[in-house]
Amino acid sequence: MNIREDIRNVAIVAHVDHGKTTLVDCLLKQSGIFRENQQVVERIMDSNSLERERGITILAKNTSIFYNGVKINIVDTPGHADFGGEVERTLKMVDNILLVVDAFEGPMPQTKFVLKKALDLNLKPIVVVNKVDRPGARPLEVVDEVLDLFISLDADEDQLEFPVIYCSAVEGWASLDPKEKGTDLKPLFDLLIGVVNPPQGEETPLQLMVTSIEYNEFVGRIAVGKLVNGFLKPGQTVTVCSPNGNSQQKIGKIYTYQGLNKVEVQKAKFGDIYAISGLQPINIGETIADLEDPQPLPFIKIDEPTISMTFSVNNSPFAGLEGKFVTSRHLRERLLKELETNVSLRVEETDQTDSFEVKGRGELHLSILIETMRREGYEFQVSKPQVIFKEIDGVKYEPIEKVTIDVPQEFSGTVIEKLGKRKGVMIDMINLSPEQVRLEFLVPARGLIGYRSELLTDTKGNGVISHIFEGYEPYKGEINYRTRGSLVASETGESTAYGLYQAQARGRLFIPPQTKVYTGMIVGENAKANDIDVNVCKKKQLTNIRASGSDDAIQLTPYTQLSLEQALEFIAEDELVEVTPKSIRLRKNN
């Protein structure tokens, strides 16, 4: 095997909010790819508008830096388990991982998930203990917890000898000693050069695994992946190996990554990560192979989805008023297009021509798709998320999630009680500090639907929840999701302050005055378990007689504006969320 000492390929993986993208920012800035006076935004790699708004990474992205004559390709990966498909395929491009762990929180569910994937691929990790400047940081204890995690995942002796570095991505320094504050990230750069395995490969035969797809309106689809073996040139004829058969195609242009830009090259050599245009069609998981001797690489195995929803054409009284793409053809084409780049997603036809069953990793995974489509001008409606059951040897099995919740000590009893009603079983309880406790549960995936907002209410906004798919277990029995009904508009028109004042005595309102409503639209939550009809368009009967006190200004309690995720969590089996570019409405399915 030939070794390329001038290249290093590394992925940065971690639980959400442990500082991956901030660390990449610092590496880019200190590698000198920006001018001294260049204006640089925070979280440079989170280029998607949804990523910037929510402060999370959704799509894995490539960049590269140069240090002491060595090119270091860095892949920034998502931290949410719902986007695990992004992590799984990008790990195929790298030789090592930087495992970033918060110096206070320690290993979390997603840390275990990404580490397991990396160990399965025999990747050697470097552990980065981030946020050591944080109040309450406990770096040495966290390293012990990481070691316990490695042992629990059956890491081999070589993987257990992982190097550790301590850093503060926000302040931009790293140190090999947790008690000493560094001045810059030079120790981390040196570690990347000295410890990360250089890529190995042969000069023949040609093999490149496509691990992601980018799209450019001028050149079409661009295949991104690591050239495992061989060489490539623009205009070269190759074999594209796919599960459906092989096809001969011609390479267009070849690009490599330099900083945040793609730079065109005239020759691609094994070991580096490239973006290739001109191959139509090409999909994730396919291999670009030699024309004469095509040898496909093993197909990427992606974990199965656990949640499904029905996407259908909007048929409410307000259908077609706000959206640009409203027909079943538009909806079908957009969902099929999403399959090209979203490897964890599944789309299936139903017996109704205007409805499609969409399966994903979790509520967040699907809600990001819904929000993206909405911003593109699509108008449609979606059903309540449903878990995907399996039948094994005649027994019904359901997906189980491992849930970690950090809460102040005073709220722990409420959390345990609420998750117990949702068939959750507590497996661990750890005191993080005298005031803070960490609770770990195994909960059926369907028991978590609608729980996040309930947790925030129960803990006065102090609860932090994260969960990850654990496996399938026998069906746990019925769970009562909703203990309250809906307030349903009985008349079409515009809501009035007087009508809402009459309705607010029944429960919590979701709309303000002067909102257009239709019969069957959900305008609030009933305080009791049943649904009731309310007339929020009702106007006060005017007379020419004034009565003492009756004409006082109407006082409305503040309404609750539901986000898309909250709307998906709230609806019952017989209800839908109507999604348009301008509105999110809830309605009865009739």
Kindly tell me if the per-residue pLDDT of 36 is higher than 50. no
Pairing of strands 96-102, 7-14: parallel
What is the spatial distance between Cα 101 and Cα 107, in angstroms, rounded to a whole number?
A: 6
Q: List the one residue out of 164, 173, 155, 170 whose CA is nearest residue 129.
A: 164
Mean pLDDT across 352-369: 87
Kindly tell me if the per-residue pLDDT of 17 is higher than 80. no
Q: Mean pLDDT for the chain?
A: 84
Burial class (CB in 10 A: 0-12, 13-18, 19+), 182: buried
pLDDT tens sequence across 214-270: 777 777 778 888 899 999 999 999 998 887 788 888 999 999 988 777 889 999 999
User: What's the helix, strand, coil split of the chain in %, to 5?
Assistant: 25, 35, 45
Residue 457: helix, strand or coil by DSSP?
A: helix
φ, ψ for residue 566 (rounded to 5)? -65, -35
pLDDT of residue 22: 82
What is the spatial distance between Cα 454 and Cα 308, in angstroms, rounded to a whole number?
A: 22
Please, are residues 362 and 307 in contact by the beta-carbon 8 Å criterion?
yes
More confident residue, 109 or 53: 109
pLDDT of residue 553: 67
pLDDT of residue 377: 93
pLDDT tens sequence across 428-475: 898 877 888 989 999 998 888 778 778 888 888 888 887 778 888 999
pLDDT of residue 43: 43
Residue 522: helix, strand or coil by DSSP?
A: strand
Binding residues for GTP: 17-22, 130-133
- Min mean pLDDT across 120-129, 490-499, 544-553 is at 544-553
Structural element, H or E, at residue 117: helix 109-120
Q: Which two tokens stand for residue 482?
A: 């909703």
Burial class (CB in 10 A: 0-12, 13-18, 19+), 59: buried
The 10 Å CB-count burial string (b at 16+, else e) for 233-252 is ebebebbbbbeeeeeebebe
As beta bridge partners, residue 464 has 406
pTM: 0.75
Pairing of strands 254-258, 261-265: antiparallel
Q: How confident is the model at residue 44 (pLDDT cuts 50, 70, 90)?
A: very low
Burial class (CB in 10 A: 0-12, 13-18, 19+), 511: buried
Structural domains present in the chain:
2-200 (3.40.50.300), 202-289 (2.40.30.10), 307-387 (3.30.70.870), 390-474 (3.30.70.240), 486-568 (2.40.50.250)
Binding residues: 17-22, 130-133
CA angle 329, 332, 337 (to 5 degrees): 125
pLDDT tens sequence across 478-496: 887 677 889 999 999 999 9
What is the spatial distance between Cα 146 and Cα 88, in angstroms, rounded to a whole number?
A: 21
